[in-house]
Amino acid sequence: MKRRPNFLFINVDQLRYDALGATGNPIIKTPNIDRIAKQGLSFTRAYTPLPSCCPARQSLMTGKIPERHSGIWNFGGGGSLPVPEVKPNGDGWVPRLRDAGYRTAYIGKWHVHPELDPTHYGFETYNDEPNDNYDTPHKAEKYPVDNPWPEFPIGHYETLPVEACHTHTLARRCISKIDELSGEDAPWHIRLDHSEPHLPCVPAEPYASMYPPETIPPWENFDENFEGKPYIQKQQLKNWCLENWSWKEWSVYMSGYYGIISQLDDAIGEVLDHLEEKGMMENTVIIFTTDHGDAAGSHRQIDKHYVMYEEETHVPLFIRWDGVTTPGSSCDDFVSHYLDLPVTLLDLVGLPVPGTYQGHSLLPMMRGEKNPSRRNFAFSSYNGQQFGLYCQRMIRDDKYKYVWNATAVDEFYDLENDPFEMKNLAAENEDSDLCRHYRKKVYEVFAELHDPLVTGLWNARYLTGQRQ
């Protein structure tokens, strides 16, 4: 009887969908991540349940949207309001894998609970990051830039050799754990979680010089004037002290962003090469994804808060399983990646899925079969963070995106004719038949997910058109 497959889950932090060679970026060099896609299945329309680190990662561990697991924004730091802790319970999928005979190990960034580490959530071992990603002790300035945030050393590079850096240290730890667990007669699940390319982006050479700022063109939606947009988007530039940044400054940011992605890609390549050298690819399912995206200068913004643009919500998701996934194949169905992956992994090994989980299995698509649970909409939500409370609920289909902003003007984009989301149609007529139709769809999608914000009496009446 063939042994159950191993799972190598490679998760990175704050990676835009369009910042990989495999997703069409003409500048970035990511040959190793690209080969996961080329030798596996690419999900071209995967979306995060919430574009912020903690809530998204907590959804991955619980199988539920943030509004159901209660971790509605990042805990701690940045002046955010207190948020309930998402504690382990009997519904975790990692303990179920462990109890079914899987050896489990976690390497890298956690960000699910402020005190309890992964060993409380089903992982047998936990190997933390070698240092805080916000504290790069060995750095020097490469590209001088007017930077109002010294804790984010934009334009700097790592002075240590690349093999001594955070990215490659974690890769070696992963390789060591693969060798350790592969010596046993049991399948394994290893989570390799990198902090990169979350800011600050401080690559080492040769990656720090790989993308000179002057060679990087501006994003198509960089010339944003915020006309007809919620005021908070423009206010964010002031909060971050970036209102006077031109593309000259942003190109320096992008040089570091692209550089650290290519450095990360090299580290991931070392892990993939090791699996191939050991002949372990055939019985190892490789998952590559991220928690959410990054504005990185799109709409002149930084980070990912208070917006539902594609740059923040659309995420890469590649799955390679030799002999099952067709090399170079793609799936265009809408995926909620951190809700669907827990269901998929349990389904893959024939374990029961808890009734509290809200995702769908991706296993049929991995096998090249028709999706029996095809979604008509992608969805994502937001509830606030550093600058206060601000609730958003987003849906998108093949043509349109609607963002219900509970305390601001809504946003409605024609993605066919305005793929960079520059013109807010809701600002022209929020009460048009089309806006009313999509507001009702917002209600239907999130009511099915048991989101208490939309099912409350007053919001439900508004979204369904029972009152103005």
The pLDDT value given to residue 79: 57
Displacement of CA 381 from its chain's centroid (Å): 13
Q: Quick check: 2 pLDDT over 90? A: no
- Give the pair of three-digit tokens for residue 225: 């004037």
Number of Cβ within 10 Å of residue 136's Cβ equals 20
Domains in the chain with CATH codes: 6-366 (3.40.720.10), 397-463 (3.30.1120)
DSSP codes joined into one string, 148-214: S-TTS-TTEEE-S-GGGSHHHHHHHHHHHHHHHHHTSSS-EEEEEE--TTSSS--PBTTGGGSS-GG
Task: Tell me the C-alpha distance between 224 and 238, whole Å.
Answer: 14
Q: Quick check: 27 pLDDT over 80? A: yes
The pLDDT value given to residue 467: 67
Percent of the chain whose pLDDT exceeds 90: 89
Task: Tell me the C-alpha distance between 87 and 15, whole Å.
Answer: 27
pTM attached to this predicted model = 0.97
Q: What average pLDDT does the chain have?
A: 95
Instruction: Over range 47-51, report the average pLDDT.
Output: 98
306-353 residue pLDDT tens: 999 999 999 999 999 999 999 999 999 999 999 999 999 999 999 999
Task: Tell me the C-alpha distance between 261 and 12, whole Å.
Answer: 10
CB 292 within 8 A of CB 73: no
Instruction: Over range 228-257, report the average pLDDT.
Output: 96
345-373 residue pLDDT tens: 999 999 999 999 999 999 999 999 999 99
Q: Quick check: 18 pLDDT over 80? A: yes
The pLDDT value given to residue 468: 56
112-149 residue pLDDT tens: 999 999 999 999 999 988 877 677 778 999 999 988 88
The pLDDT value given to residue 359: 98
